[in-house]
Every structure is written in structure tokens, then in C-alpha cells.
Amino acid sequence: MTGKYEKIDWDSVEMLGKPDNCLKQLYVFERVNDSLEKRTVHDLSAGARDQFLFSCRLGFIETLFGNSPHFIIFDDPFANYDPDRFLKAMETLKYLADINWQVIYLSWRCPEQ
């Protein structure tokens, strides 16, 4: 992510009293001085949260498909990114295209933004 966070973790939360029907609460750990402080995803800024969820999606896809190329469609996943974060995300999409993934990216954002 931004280098500010070092670890992710999650808890299972039972829903409707059924263990197989659970929601995972995601956490990130932020380096503050010499310790790690636990934050929920909702504590992150909109841009950091979107970046975290983008990373989770890519990790999920890698887990499902491994290194074999597939296609991926994004509908404006970077709307809350600042310019530096946006450029890094576009480098990631370019890397996926370079390794033969078909990347479809839809956005309202003009290139100069």
C-alpha cells in the first residue's frame, strides 16, 4: 500500500447464528513509532481504503487463478486516489497487461487529473 501499513488481519463475525454465514472484519496495522496500531478498514481515508480493497481484489484473483492470464474489469476503482497513488495503480494495471492479462478499465477521470 502506501508503506504506512505493515500487516492485515481479519475476524470472522457470525451472522444469523450460523458459522458458515460469516462476515470478515478486515484490519490493517499502522506503524506508529515502535508499535503497530490496529485499525479497521473504515478508519482509513477514502483513498487508502480504496487502495487496500484494490489490493485485496488482486490478491483474491491471484489466489483463484495463480499466474495464468485472465481478464479483469474495473469500474472506476481509483476515484478517491490522489495523483501519486493513481499513477502507482495504473503501473499495476500496466504490469498485468504486460503479463498478458486483459485489463478493462472504465473511468470518468481525465488523464490530467
Q: What is the pLDDT of residue 103?
A: 92
Determine what percent of the chain is predicted with pLDDT higher than 70. Answer: 81
Q: What is the pLDDT of residue 102?
A: 92
Give the mean model confidence (pLDDT) for residues 19-46: 78
Q: What is the pLDDT of residue 63?
A: 84
Residue 4 Cα distances to 17, 102, 112, angstroms: 36, 31, 26
34-87 pLDDT tens trace: 888 888 888 888 888 888 888 888 888 888 888 788 888 988 888 888 888 888
Q: What is the pLDDT of residue 1?
A: 46
Q: Quick check: 11 and 26 in contact, CB under 8 A?
A: no
User: Widest CA span of the chain, in angstroms?
Assistant: 50
Determine what percent of the chain is predicted with pLDDT higher than 90. Answer: 9
Residues 6+ apart with CB under 8 A from 97: 103
